[in-house]
Copies of this chain bind each other. A is one copy, B any other.
Amino acid sequence: MARAGLSPERVTAAAADLADEVGLDQVRVSEVARGFGVKTASLYSHVSGSHDLRLRIALLALHEMAELVTEAVVGRAGRDALGAYADVYRTYARAHPGRYAASQLRLDAETAARSDGARHAAVARAILRGYDVEGDEQPHAVRLLGSTIHGYVTLELGGGFSHSAPDTDVTWTRVLDALDALLRSWPEPA
């Protein structure tokens, strides 16, 4: 019988697409197998189970976002760079909710080291350079940036804003303006 041409990469990609469609927690090894027209047990030669599958989706998402975010900020600085940076996450999360959810999974130190997580922080630091936030203050500012952007994206995606009135796009630019203002006048180290 014809082989389906499976590989860890293809399996992960299919699982990621499935996660975007039905939600990360609804990703089943059996369903991924069905998608390939293959028996469930066959996937276990390529990935070591459903936990492994989710982890691989996370690494894929972190990689894809790192590529996008790196590309988005080249040639930009200040508010312009900040907006491009943040928009990547928001746009990605809307287009790929399952992948984005996976990227928030807790990774053990070893896996995290192997991931593209550090690239995200590096891009954030590059943006801060345009604001003259340096030295010991950088980590704090990076965390603030990450918290606000990630929090907004998560809440918006989770429907946390859909119950109240104003358009979320308006709030989004307001939030970015606020972050911009904050970084412009970042306080001196205590």
Contact = CB atoms under 8 A, between A and B. Distances in A.
Interface in A131-190: 136, 139-140, 142-144, 146-152, 154-155, 158-161, 163-166, 168, 170-171, 174-175, 177-178, 181-182, 185, 187
A95 interface: no
A136 B170 CA distance: 11
Contacts of A139: 164-166, 171
Nearest to A170: B140
A155 B159 contact: no
B174 A106 contact: no
Given A148-B151, A152-B147, A181-B182, A166 B136 contact: yes
Contacts of A165: 139
B148 A106 contact: no
Main secondary structure of the interface of A (DSSP, over half): helix
A121 interface: yes
Contact of A164 (B25, B105, B109, B121): B121
A104 interface: yes
Interface size class of A (residues with CB under 8 A): 35 or more
A185 to B, nearest CB: 8
A175 B107 CA distance: 24
24 contacts: A104-B158, A105-B158, A117-B163, A118-B163, A136-B166, A142-B164, A143-B155, A143-B171, A144-B148, A144-B171, A144-B174, A144-B178, A146-B151, A146-B155, A147-B147, A147-B151, A147-B155, A148-B148, A148-B151, A149-B151, A150-B155, A154-B154, A178-B182, A178-B187
